[in-house]
Amino acid sequence: MRHEDVWRAIDALAAEHGLSASGLARRAGLDPTAFNPSKRTGIDGRARWPSTESVAKVLTATGAGLEAFAALVTGAPALPRGGRTAAARRIPLIGLAQAGSEGFFDDGGYPVGGGWDEISVPDVPDPNAYALEISGDSMEPVFRDGDVVIVSPAAPVRRGDRVVVSTRKGEVMAKELLRQSARRIELASLNPAHPNYVFELGELLWMHRIVWASQ
C-alpha cells in the first residue's frame, strides 16, 4: 500500500460520486481542505496519510465498502452493490489553452482528431466525455494551474453549473452559468478579477457541463 495509491483511491471515489476531493471531504463532515493536494505532503516534505477516521467517514458518506475502497487502492477490479464491475476507462485529454485550436472538436463539441492525450478515470457514463487541463491562474481560486476537469457533453446544464463553452470566434473557456434565456446566456468568470460575459445564443457553438475536477 503506497501513499500515492491511497490518495488516488480517494480521488477515484470522489469521481465516482461526481465530487471533487474537497466536495467529498465536505460530504463526509470533514474540513473541506482535508483532502487537498497541499495537505498530502507536510512542510518538511514527508508524506501525509489520511487518517483511519477520515477514510471511515468517507466510506459511510458514500456507502462504499472497505473492499471496494481497497480495490481502488490496489487497482484490482471490484464488484460494487448491483454486481456491475467498477472499472476505470480512458478519456481524451488536452490543455484548455489548446482547446480553441482547430481540429480538436466537431461542430457538436465532441472530441475528434489524433492530437489528444489520454487520462484514466473512474467510469464516466457519457461515451463522449473528455478532460481539460487548466493552465495559468486566470480561473483561481476555483481551478488552479494543473487541475484537470472532466466535461460531459451529455450532462444536463443548470444555473450555477460550471461549464465549458465554445464561441464562433474559436474561443473555448470555462465559466459558471448564471442565466440562460431564449436569446442569451450569461456566464460568470471563475476568477472575480475577470469580467462576466453575455452571449447571444447564436454566438456559441456548444456548452458542456464540468462534472468533476481533480482538486
Q: What pLDDT tens digit does each residue of the chain (215 aa) get?
A: 688 888 888 888 887 777 788 888 989 999 988 888 888 888 888 888 999 999 999 999 888 888 778 877 776 544 444 444 445 678 889 999 888 888 889 888 888 887 888 887 766 778 889 999 998 888 888 888 888 899 998 888 988 999 999 999 989 999 999 999 989 999 999 998 999 999 999 999 999 999 888 75
Residue after which a domain boundary falls, among 15, 45, 74: 74
- Boundary (domain end) residue, out of 49, 74, 99: 74
Do 133 and 116 touch, CB atoms closer than 8 A?
no
The total domain count for the chain is 2
147 in a structural domain: yes
Of 74, 98, 130, the position where a domain reaches its end is 74
171 and 200 together in one domain:
yes
Count CA atoms within 13 Å of residue 87 on its CB side: 7
pTM of the model: 0.59
Q: State whether 165 and 206 are in the same domain.
A: yes
Q: Tell me which amino acid residue 116 is.
A: W
Does residue 94 share a domain with residue 44? no
Do 66 and 104 sit in the same domain of this protein? no
The domain of 106 spans 88-213
Nearest to 205 by CA among 102, 125, 51: 102
Whether 203 and 151 share a structural domain: yes
Q: Do 196 and 93 share a structural domain?
A: yes
